Amino acid sequence: KGVQYLKETESRNLKEEILTVTGRMFLEYGYSGTTFQKIADELNITKGAITYHFKNKFMIMETFIDDLFSQIKGYVDSFPEEYKNRYWRHCIIYIYAYRKIMSTPKNMELFYHKDQQLIWQNHKLAMIAGIYEEIEKDFHKSYDRKDLQMKAYMDMGVRSRLFETYQNHPGVFTLDQYCYYHIYLLGILCKLDEMTIQENIKDAFAFADSHPLDIRSCIFE
């Protein structure tokens, strides 16, 4: 297998080729319609050459989503003179991300596909717990690891429920209200007081509205 892989990748940046082709297929066929066999056929390689770099489709999707959030964080952090606190920063990041991810049905299908979300909820728990830790440290709140983990579980559960309501009951709330409910929960779970939460959410939306961000993504339109 090692020799075969070396032959297939000789003089090629196969990892980047896989990402390029998969990104195009995600847009063309959706998450379910994109398979390792299709990717392999397109690149004239074996499926084993793909799994050498990415064990499954989720790992490829994770690369795209991490890039999306990296762009957003880099942009927000390029305005250090406007920085307020960690909660404010994460509110803005989520506003930009949701506005992009939920801008079209195709984008939503990719990010919220049920198979992808099941893995995501387990794989990203530590990252979500880390967000709560950052905010609580910034506001000098007491916490412990089990508490952070439980908050991450609650956060992921609410996200799923919010999306289910948004998708299945159009008109119940707008996209910006969707953003509001999630980042409001973030503040509540971090034990911030109501005035602090409302001030930061208001300032976060004002920042996002006054600083348009052109996100370049291989998978999101």
Per-residue pLDDT tens for 32-85? Answer: 999 999 999 999 999 999 999 999 999 999 999 999 999 999 999 999 999 999
How much is the pLDDT for 197? 98
Look at residue 9 and tell me whether its pLDDT is greater than 60.
Answer: no
What is the pTM assigned to this prediction? Answer: 0.90
pLDDT of residue 116: 78
Q: Which residues contact 56 (CB under 8 A, 6 or more apart)?
A: 119
For residue 180, pLDDT over 70 is answered with yes
| Residue 108, token pair as written in the block | 């939503």
**By C-alpha distance, which of 201, 15, 220, 191 is closest to 94?**
201
Mean pLDDT of the chain: 91
